[in-house]
Homo-oligomer: A and B are copies of this chain.
Amino acid sequence: MRRNKAQTGPLPSWNEGATKQSILQFVERVTTESDRGFVPPLDRIAVFDNDGTLWSEKPAYFQLLFALDRVRALAVDHPEWQEQQPFKAVLEDDIDGLLAGGMKAIIDILVATHGGNTTDEFEQIVSDWIASARHPRTGRLYTELVFQPMLELLDFLRARGFRTYIVSGGGIEFMRAWVEGVYGIPPEQVIGSSIETQFEMRDIGPVLVRIPKVDFVDDNEGKPVGIHKFIGRRPILAFGNSDGDREMLQWTAAGDGPRLMGLVHHTDAEREWAYDRESPIGRLDKALDEARARGWTVADMKRDWQMIYPWESE
């Protein structure tokens, strides 16, 4: 469609300009042995937020849409939900009623739908959903709502010796069920929010049971905490899209030597969505100011991306 077939070289879906140049120059620098900014491969750690950075997050975080589908699927075993909020609102497709319950309603739904299974069972539930559920506006599989320019960036970095990690506020086990096939990121390079798990010896052998209790929230200050806990090295590249990524970007920026801090700015209401400072989901306000003040890389979707989704070239 809008893809320039003549373009060759790395990052073909990124338009020529300062944004693409800042990425190419950074990678060139840290991978050139004679450069003072050279970084050995083991320290080439790149971290990416997921929602809004690697795939879309509208009309709501896709994991929340998964949770709503789970409420509908589990309702037969929970007749009390017909009269109990926030479940009643979900079952009646009353989104305003759901949102009226605020963050507490959301957490009630996440906890009720994400706990209780073994880890193997939960992985199967997510795998089945992600292979069949459809995004409301586009009718596409959710995994088709990934950003082609970011897929190219992940591939390009790995080809230059980087290890690519996801560091997301989303659930670690929700993501691990599908990100390896979609992004080429293996489970051990996925960091996310989690509920507690508990070892149990059952007749079938040992299992890990998912307990409906929050273990770790991998957002805002939690992102550098999670990076340090899981990786134990400071990244040299970090990409996010919202204020929830700000501390991760600050933590990355504070290391020695060359760094790349990037933001995806959702500016394209026609091909994707346009939102920033006022959006309840993916709010980008303080981090955008900081990016501009400190010269971080801002990928303006409308200006910098020749295509958004992989299927645009079909």
Contact = CB atoms under 8 A, between A and B. Distances in A.
Contacts of A198: 221, 225
Interface in A202-251: 205-206, 208, 221, 224-225, 228-233, 247, 250-251
Which of A187, A188, A190, A231 has the most chain B CB within a 10 Å cutoff?
A188
Number of copies: 2
A186 interface: yes
A254 interface: yes
A42 B172 CA distance: 19
Given A206-B250, A224-B208, A251-B206, A229 B197 contact: yes
Interface residues of A, number: 30
Given A187-B233, A251-B206, A197 B228 contact: yes
Contacts of A208: 224-225, 228
Contacts of A221: 198-199
Contacts of A172: 229, 232
B190 A247 contact: no
A201 interface: yes
A51 to B, nearest CB: 19
B206 A247 contact: yes
A251 B199 contact: yes
A194 B229 CA distance: 9
A266 interface: no
19 contacts: A173-B232, A176-B232, A187-B232, A187-B233, A188-B231, A188-B232, A188-B233, A190-B232, A194-B229, A197-B228, A197-B229, A199-B221, A199-B225, A199-B251, A206-B250, A206-B251, A206-B254, A208-B224, A208-B225
